[in-house]
C-alpha cells in the first residue's frame, strides 16, 4: 500500500439514531437534557478508536498520509470528528500533524525508540516501588500465572501472543502502583512503540530470556526486596537499550514492523 493510497477501514462509522457530533459548550439548546449512554460514544471518539486500532495493528503504516477528506468519506462522517480524532492521536504520539500538509502516521526513529525505553525504565522503577507495599497474594499469583503463560508461548514461539502477555505483565505492575497518572503516562508511551514489538524481540535476544528475567523479578518481589526488584527490572528493560547504544541494530529498528 503506497503512502498516498486511500486507506481501507471497515466497517464504516455511520451516525446512529440519536448520534451527534461533539458540540462546543454553550451551543446546546438549554431545554435539552441529554445524558448519553456509556456505549453511545461521540463520533470523534469512535473515529479515534478505529484509527488508533488500525495504527497499532500496523495496518496504517508509519508515514502513511491521513487526509481528512478521504477518512470522512470512508468512515461516513463529516470532517469535524475526523479532525478531532487526529488531534487526539497526535497528542498520543501516534500521528504527526504537519502544518499546511496534513497528518501522517508517526514514524519511530532509533532515537525515539531508545528514549521510550529510558522513559519506560523510570516509570516502571517508580511503579514497582509504589506497588510492592500494596501487593497481596492474589496479585503475586496473577504475576506467576502470566509468567507460566509466557513460558508456554515462548516454547511454542507464538511471538504475537507472547508480547500480549508480556505487555499485561508489565502493565499489571504499573496498575498495582495505584497511581492513575503514572498508568496514563505509561499507556501512552507503550502505545507509541507497540507497532515495533517485533523489533523489541530482536533487540532483546529471545523470549526465553524474558521469561527467566520475569521469574527472577517476581521472586525478589515475594522476598520483599525492593532494591533488588528495582535493579532486576531496570536490567531487564535495559537489554534492548544496550543493543541500540551499540549501534548494531539501527537498520532493524528503522525497518517497518511486521503487521500484528
Counted domains in the chain: 2
Residue 259 belongs to a domain? no
Q: Which helix (H) or strand (E) holds 90?
A: helix 79-91
Any alpha helices (H) in 92-179, and if so which ranges? 110-131, 137-156, 159-175
Beta-bridge partners for 52: none
Report how far residue 35's alpha carbon sits from residue 40's, in angstroms, rounded to the nearest whole number: 10
Beta-bridge partners for 104: 65, 96
- In this structure, the answer to whether residues 126 and 34 fall within a common structural domain is no
- In this structure, the answer to whether residues 66 and 130 fall within a common structural domain is no
Enclosing domain of residue 3: 1-107
Q: How high does pLDDT run on average in the chain?
A: 79
Assess whether pLDDT exceeds 60 at residue 84. yes
- In this structure, the answer to whether residues 125 and 250 fall within a common structural domain is yes
Report how far residue 143's alpha carbon sits from residue 168's, in angstroms, rounded to the nearest whole number: 9
| CATH classification at residue 202 | 1.20.120.530
Assess whether pLDDT exceeds 80 at residue 106. yes
> What separation in angstroms does the CA of 112 have from each of 41, 93, 241?
32, 11, 11
Report residue 121's pLDDT band, with 50, 70 and 90 as the boundaries: very high
* pLDDT tens-digit readout, 203-227: 555 788 899 999 999 999 999 999 9
Residue 260 belongs to a domain? no
* pLDDT tens-digit readout, 27-71: 233 343 333 333 446 889 999 999 988 888 778 888 999 999 999
- In this structure, the answer to whether residues 250 and 193 fall within a common structural domain is yes
Query: What is the model's pLDDT at position 238?
Result: 84
Q: Which helix (H) or strand (E) holds 167?
A: helix 159-175
- Of all residues in the chain, the percent with pLDDT exceeding 70 is 72
Beta-bridge partners for 96: 104
Residue 92 belongs to a domain? yes
| CATH classification at residue 23 | 1.10.10.10
Other Cβ atoms less than 10 A from the Cβ of 145: the count is 13
Q: What is the mean pLDDT of residues 97-123?
A: 87
Query: What is the model's pLDDT at position 240?
Result: 63
C-alpha 22: how far from chain center: 26
Assess whether pLDDT exceeds 70 at residue 177. yes
Report how far residue 242's alpha carbon sits from residue 245's, in angstroms, rounded to the nearest whole number: 5
pTM for the predicted model, two decimal places: 0.69
DSSP string, 171-224: HHHHHTTT-HHHHHHHHHHHHHHGGGHHHHHHHH--HHHHHHHHHHHHHHHHHT
Beta-bridge partners for 97: 103
Report how far residue 116's alpha carbon sits from residue 241's, in angstroms, rounded to the nearest whole number: 10
Residue 90 belongs to a domain? yes
Assess whether pLDDT exceeds 90 at residue 112. no
Place of cell 522476598: 223
Report residue 99's pLDDT band, with 50, 70 and 90 as the boundaries: confident
Assess whether pLDDT exceeds 70 at residue 19. no
More reliable by pLDDT, 1 or 143: 143
Report how far residue 107's alpha carbon sits from residue 10's, in angstroms, rounded to the nearest whole number: 24
- In this structure, the answer to whether residues 77 and 27 fall within a common structural domain is yes
97 three-class SS? strand
Query: What is the model's pLDDT at position 255?
Result: 40
Other Cβ atoms less than 10 A from the Cβ of 6: the count is 13
Amino acid at each position: 500500500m503506497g503512502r498516498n493510497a486511500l486507506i481501507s477501514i471497515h466497517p464504516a462509522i455511520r451516525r446512529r439514531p440519536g448520534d451527534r457530533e461533539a458540540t462546543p459548550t454553550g451551543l446546546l439548546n438549554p431545554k435539552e437534557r441529554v445524558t448519553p449512554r456509556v456505549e453511545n460514544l461521540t463520533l470523534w471518539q469512535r473515529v479515534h478508536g478505529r484509527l488508533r486500532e488500525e495504527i497499532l495493528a500496523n495496518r496504517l503504516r508509519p508515514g502513511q498520509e491521513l487526509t481528512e477528506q478521504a477518512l470522512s468519506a470512508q468512515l461516513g462522517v463529516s470532517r469535524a470528528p475526523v479532525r478531532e480524532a487526529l488531534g487526539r492521536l497526535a497528542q498520543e504520539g501516534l500521528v504527526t500533524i504537519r502544518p499546511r500538509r496534513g497528518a501522517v502516521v508517526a514514524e519511530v526513529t532509533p532515537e525515539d525508540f531508545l528514549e521510550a525505553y529510558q522513559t519506560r525504565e523510570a516509570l516502571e522503577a517508580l511503579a514497582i516501588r509504589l506497588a510492592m507495599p500494596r501487593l497481596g497474594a492474589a496479585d503475586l499469583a496473577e504475576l506467576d500465572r502470566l509468567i507460566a503463560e509466557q513460558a508456554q508461548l515462548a516454547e511454542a514461539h507464538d511471538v504475537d501472543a507472547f508480547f500480549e502477555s508480556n505487555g499485561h505483565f508489565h502493565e499489571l505492575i504499573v496498575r498495582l502502583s495505584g497511581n492513575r497518572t503514572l498508568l496514563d503516562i505509561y499507556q501512552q508511551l507503550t502505545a507509541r512503540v507497540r507497532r515495533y514489538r517485533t523489533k523489541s524481540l530482536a533487540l532483546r535476544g529471545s523470549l526465553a530470556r524474558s521469561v527467566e528475567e520475569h521469574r527472577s523479578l517476581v521472586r525478589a518481589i515475594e522476598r520483599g526486596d525492593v532494591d533488588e526488584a528495582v535493579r532486576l527490572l531496570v536490567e531487564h528493560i535495559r537489554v534492548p537499550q544496550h543493543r541500540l547504544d551499540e549501534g548494531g541494530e539501527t537498520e532493524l529498528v528503522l525497518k517497518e514492523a511486521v503487521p500484528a
